[in-house]
């Protein structure tokens, strides 16, 4: 009987020792890595909190404080570091607005060039000298009349090395300046040709072939009194993808943009600007 009692004692001891070791091992190694059960709302799992929210709110608070250059830096940093954030779309939209505000104003920025008007300067001469367009110079410096340049007047010139991406699936036009994201525009209407079957993923290279402004069914020139209220067209070398003012003079095929977006696009895009249609 004694050996039976000893055997039972040893068995009980093993259960206690190894059971305790197993319990502690489970608590230390398994429990911390267990995925907690997801909270459900209306039967649907609630996604975990977005860790990028504090950085997004910080960037937006800088924008709200009217510090455009600092806001641009914060938003660019956020987009680069949180590409999967739930706030990525809002951040891109905010960055586009900030970029536009800086570009089309006298807001000082590191990339801008300061130019003082000299005797004999005219808009056409400044276009060549500053490698820009008269329309950009006028809009960025709030000039109403190109003939009223004054000696000593200070002009701010932003670098304008634009390219564009037309996304057929998202129906957007994205501008890049010097290879960096500038702004994304959503189409108001879409009448561009669909890709042929089997070519959906093939990108089409194009360029801006010409720009036109329409007023009452006739083409008007930049600088004329009708130009400010005109409907803008930006034609591409690939047919059917003309960008135009939605609700105005309409081409046979193309992409309609909101009037304020089209005015901006027609100012920024010049003949020869590279475009990719994808």
Element (H, E) at 6: helix 2-25
pLDDT, mean of residues 178-194: 96
Q: How does DSSP assign 237-265, residue by residue?
A: SSTT-EEEETTSS--SSEEEE-HHHHHHH
Residue 150's domain comprises: 113-157
Quick one: 245 and 223 in the same domain? yes
Are 179 and 192 found together in one domain?
A: yes
Using CA atoms, how far residue 207 sits from 151, 170, 196, 213, in Å, is 37, 20, 21, 18
Q: Is residue 71 part of a domain?
A: yes
Tens digits of residue pLDDT in 121-174 = 988 889 888 888 889 988 898 888 777 788 999 999 999 999 999 999 999 999
Residue 5 placed within a domain? no
More reliable by pLDDT, 228 or 145: 228
Greatest pairwise CA separation for the chain in angstroms = 121
State which of 122, 139, 157 marks the end of a domain: 157
- pLDDT average, residue stretch 214-229: 92
- pLDDT for 166 equals 98
Return the top range by mean pLDDT from 18-27, 55-64, 136-145, 198-207.
55-64
Most confidently predicted of 4-8, 14-18, 47-51, 67-71: 67-71
Which residue shows structure tokens 């276009």?
127
pLDDT-above-90 percentage for the chain: 64
Domain boundary among 157, 189, 221: 157
Inside any domain, residue 34 = no
Predicted pLDDT of residue 266? 96
**pLDDT above 60 (res 20):** no
Q: What is the CATH classification number for the domain harbouring 136?
A: 3.10.350.10
pLDDT of residue 36: 58
- pLDDT band for position 215 (50/70/90)? very high
pLDDT over 60 (residue 232): yes
Residue 211 lies in a domain: yes
191 and 254, same domain (yes or no): yes
Residues 167 and 266 in one domain: yes
Residue 212's CATH number: 2.40.440.10
176 and 208 fall within a common domain: yes
Q: What total number of domains does the chain contain?
A: 3
The SS3 of residue 84 is coil
pTM above 0.95, yes or no: no
**Residue 23 forms part of a structural domain:** no
Are 183 and 99 within 8 A, CB to CB? yes
Residues 143 and 188 in one domain: no
Asked if residue 139 is part of any domain, the answer here is yes
Whether 250 is in a domain gets the answer: yes
Mean pLDDT calculated for residue range 246-271: 96
Say yes or no: 179 and 249 in one domain.
yes
Residues 149, 179, single domain; the answer is no
Whether residue 107 has pLDDT greater than 70: yes
- DSSP-based three-state secondary structure for 60: helix
pLDDT of the residue at 142: 86
Please state the φ and ψ torsions of residue 233, each to the nearest 5 degrees.
Answer: -125, 140
Rounded to the nearest integer, the mean pLDDT of the chain is 87
Q: What is the pLDDT of residues 47-106, one digit of tens each?
A: 778 899 999 999 999 999 999 999 999 999 999 999 999 999 999 999 999 999 999 998
| In-domain check, residue 181 | yes
């Amino acid at each position: 009987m004694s050996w039976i009692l000893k055997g039972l004692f040893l068995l009980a001891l093993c259960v206690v020792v190894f059971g305790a070791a197993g319990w502690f091992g489970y608590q230390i190694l398994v429990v911390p890595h267990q995925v907690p059960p997801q909270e459900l709302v209306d039967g649907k799992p609630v996604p975990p909190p977005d860790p990028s929210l504090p950085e997004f709110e910080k960037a937006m608070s800088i924008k709200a404080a009217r510090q455009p250059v600092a806001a641009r830096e914060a938003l660019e940093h956020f987009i680069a570091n949180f590409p999967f954030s739930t706030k990525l779309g809002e951040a891109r939209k905010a960055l586009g607005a900030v970029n536009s505000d800086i570009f089309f104003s006298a807001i000082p920025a590191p990339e801008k060039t300061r130019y003082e008007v000299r005797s004999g300067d005219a808009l056409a001469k400044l276009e060549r000298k500053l490698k820009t367009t008269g329309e950009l110079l006028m809009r960025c410096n709030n000039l109403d009349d190109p003939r009223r340049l004054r000696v000593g007047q200070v002009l701010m010139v932003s670098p304008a090395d634009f390219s564009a991406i037309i996304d057929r699936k998202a129906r957007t036009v994205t501008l890049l300046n010097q290879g960096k994201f500038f702004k994304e525009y959503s189409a108001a209407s879409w009448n561009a040709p669909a890709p042929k079957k089997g070519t959906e993923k093939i990108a089409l290279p194009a360029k801006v072939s010409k720009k036109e402004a329409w007023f009452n069914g006739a083409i008007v020139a930049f600088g004329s009194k009708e130009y400010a209220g005109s409907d803008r067209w930006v034609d591409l070398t690939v047919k059917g993808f003309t960008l135009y003012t939605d609700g105005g003079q309409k081409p046979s095929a193309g992409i309609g943009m909101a009037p304020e977006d089209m005015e901006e696009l027609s100012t920024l895009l010049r003949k020869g600007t590279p475009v990719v249609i994808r």
